[in-house]
Amino acid sequence: MSNLADSGQSDRATGVSAQSVESPKPVDSPPADRTPSDPGDTSSDEKSLTARHPRWHIRVRGLTKSFGQNRVLTGIDLDIERSKVNVVIGASGVGKSVLVKHFISLLRPDTGEVWVDGTNVFDLDTKELSAFRRKFGMVFQFAALFDSLTVEDNCAFPLREHTKKNKAEIKEIVRDRLSALGLDGTQDKYPGELSGGMRKRVGLARALVLEPEILIYDEPTTGLDPLATKNVDDMILSTSERFHVTSVVISHDMASVFRIADRISMLHDTRLLISGTVDMVRESGIDYVHRFITTSGVTGAFSQRKQT
């Protein structure tokens, strides 16, 4: 069966095997290296990996990872689009967090490559890696704030660690990020005094102080009520627009996914089952994808368009 990733990958790219999909239906997928909505993009050759690509920010090729006997990822070929919201979905334990940890070389693969603007991250030495990681901001499932530090000190922490900015400059940057996320007046509070949604926003403010090019959110809405979830979704969208960052969002929440995603990539059975625009995923005709989404209760996903 043909490749369902529309991201300009070569023939060894993502396949949808009969073994990995239950009752796959025929799919009228676009050619492997272009989507109907992106007729200009053709750079699928391996040479393009070693240079900054205008469209694809992170390029994963042939990524395979096991922990002992436990194979988690097999031959993942995935492209993350610059300045867009790229969502990764899939069942619990399928390997979503493991995949994104490779993006910043928190994990090393058994085989495969991750290219970011022409650099293979696994070629970097310790010093280079430390500089490279400043391109990224991470927002974790539980905001992972320091409980004993105030909101201001939590947000100032990366600036004190990684820059030579003076106190006044740091205060200004922190104030700006907190304000942008609707957190005015929380500077002197401790994380324990905030709601879960506010803590997540503080986590995002902290991730933003170093002006990352890429923001990775690992399940940012887990444990939030529907309104708080909507707030975090709005925050992801407005952050994407205001700071022009490339967003990678791992999410279980299908309502959220269809609110925020420009692209959706789905892991299943150690492989990348599909990666493409929201419409492409919606129209894939793959039974597992359809069931995964509709079982979550988001029945409108197949008839609604993303609301912005």
Ligand X SMILES: Nc1ncnc2c1ncn2[C@@H]1O[C@H](COP(=O)(O)OP(=O)(O)OP(=O)(O)O)[C@@H](O)[C@H]1O
- What is the binding site for ligand X (CB under 6 A)? 67, 70, 72, 90, 92-98
Residue among 250, 247, 222 at smallest CA distance from 236: 247
| Phi/psi at 96 (5° precision) | -65, -50
Side chain identity at 187, as an amino acid letter? Q
Cβ 58 to ligand X, closest distance in Å?
17
Nearer to ligand X, 49 or 89 (CB): 89
Structure tokens at 232: 């975090």
> What is the rounded CA–CA span in Å between residue 178 and residue 205?
6
For the chain, the helix, strand and coil percentages under 3-state DSSP, each to the nearest 5: 35, 20, 45
Cβ 284 to ligand X, closest distance in Å?
20
Task: Identify what 72 binds: ligand X, Mg ion, none; CB under 5 to 8 Å per kind.
Answer: ligand X
The 8-class DSSP code of residue 262 comes to S
Q: Counting Cβ atoms within 10 Å, is residue 230 exposed (0-12), middle (13-18) or buried (19+)?
A: middle
Q: Does 251 bind Mg ion (CB under 5 A)?
A: no
Cβ 141 to Mg ion, closest distance in Å?
7
Cβ 142 to ligand X, closest distance in Å?
12
Nearer to ligand X, 93 or 118 (CB): 93
8 Å CB contact between 75 and 134:
no
User: According to CB under 5 A, which residues from 89 to 118 bind Mg ion?
Assistant: 97
Structure tokens at 208: 């933003």
Nearer to Mg ion, 181 or 207 (CB): 207
Nearer to Mg ion, 97 or 229 (CB): 97
Task: Identify what 67 binds: ligand X, Mg ion, none; CB under 5 to 8 Å per kind.
Answer: ligand X
Binding site for Mg ion (CB under 5 A): 97
